Amino acid sequence: MRLYEQTAADLSRMLQSREVSSVEVVRSFLERINEVDPHLKAFITQTPVMALDSGGEIDARRMRGETIHPLAGVPVAVKDNISTMDLRTTCASRILENYIPPFDATVISAIKKAGMPILGKTNLDEFAMGSSTENSAFYPTRNPWDPERVPGGSSGGSAVAVATGMAPLALGSDTGGSIRQPASLCGVTGLRPTYGRVSRYGLVAFASSLDQIGTVSTTALDGALLMSLVAGYDPLDSTSLPDQIPDYSTGLELDLKNLRVGLIRYGRVEGFDPQVTETVTQAASLLEEHGAEVGEVSLPLTDYGLSAYYLIAPSEASSNLGRYDGVRYGFCSDGDSVEAMFSRTRGEGFGPEVKRRIMIGTYALSAGYYDAYYLKAMKVRTLIRRDYEQAFKKFDLLLGAASPTPAFKLGEKTEDPLQMYLSDVCNITDSLAGVPSLAVPGGFSSSGLPIGLQLTARPLQEKLLLKAARFFEEQRQPAFLRPRLEYLEGGGSNEI
């Protein structure tokens, strides 16, 4: 088995036992990127020299007998809306195309301190606004299971990088499903932690009350290892939670005999693929067969989640994106006056979806409309949170779909924003409630496309989600699949 086909946990073990060097591991992933990424476009910026230098430093420290982190030498990919000092952070937008941050995000400081080489910055929907990674200002990313389909979004680049072995681990961000939905469509595991569990310092803001950094991995254990590294209190983030951080990577056995699982029945949701519904139902039956108590759960306000989200998130985006005026940093266009310069800079620098959400948010916050739209949406959000509180009085874990459909065709929904927004319908209410949620592979459609399950738990119960994900992994035969990539010259990878 080639190094890029190994899990992060296996690579960690091999590195610690000195079976391989960090440089060998990094070089394997760089070669894989060179082979695959020209076809799928998961990366915006690749950093081979930086990654190899970092791997060499780790090898030298290991040879000196220094005590280093278990993930030292295991490479990672980073979504390109997370600040990286001296490495451009574009948010897949022309307005930040050449922006190089003067500081690292807290999560980047953590992975650098641990000695994890950064392979590059991954593609996304511009400013994380989208569900298909087609809104990138540079190019769309393609789904590795079918390159004519989308990988999901906005963390599509991170999901594709992990799914194809271009990176063993990746960081993404999730505002309304941006980790979980692409993880589902690409057949990997994606964790959105409790709001405040992982520092947002250095994450370029979209909707500040919803944004959360999380992990993308092939296995629950790999995600747990990365989560243990990046989670924790950060005084630089005013929303950071001070609660104790467990070791997520140990004790991942699930006690099903004492587990109460709520099966979510979706209400007036259009366009749900019957194969997705069947996959979720089969997963519930599997839990029940192994001793879990399964019952249906009611979340009455779910039907209003989409409307509330697409008022709250654009309103916060309208406020956050006001800083991109061409004066302080980023792209700047000429103009005969300051007002003309502002207008041309934003008109040329932002893409259509970002402009659409700025306009929606500005309207919702404007005089005479604030109470009718934004304030009402915030009240619905409170009611949604109460729905979850009631559900968790009866159940330990909620089970549902991570996406209403498998991956759809490139261009299929770009002309109909509402249909694109409906792609997030399974994920949005978890984000509004601030609870942790995880997508894990659940099966495949009749056409061979991944279908993901979504697991949701009480605040700060990420470890329970990882345990449940580990359970589903153990039930799958084989453990997991890589997309075969037959469309690449010379074939592609096979089953692992």
Q: How far apart are CA 398 and CA 455, in angstroms?
A: 6
21 is catalytic: no
Pick out the chain residues at pLDDT < 70: 267-269, 477-480, 489-496
Which DSSP string corresponds to 72-97? TT--EEEETTB-BTTB---TT-GGGT
E strand intervals along 431-481: 437-444, 450-457
| pLDDT number for residue 138 | 98
- For residue 246, the 8-state DSSP code is P
For position 165, what pLDDT does the model report? 97
* Other beta carbons less than 10 A from residue 367's beta carbon: 5
Q: Which two tokens stand for residue 482?
A: 């890589």
Cα torsion 42, 47, 52, 54: sign: negative
User: How crowded is residue 57: how many other Cβ atoms within 10 Å of its Cβ?
Assistant: 16
Instruction: Give this prediction's pTM.
Output: 0.96
Does the active-site annotation cover 445? Answer: no
The pLDDT value given to residue 72: 98
Q: Are 446 and 227 in contact (CB under 8 A)?
A: no
Query: Catalytic: which of 178, 228, 240, 318?
Result: 178
Catalytic residue (one of 12, 22, 54, 79): 79
Annotation says 343 is catalytic = no
- The catalytic position among 21, 22, 132, 154 is 154
pLDDT given at position 493 = 39
Domains delineated in the chain:
3-264+396-475 (3.90.1300.10), 302-380 (no CATH)
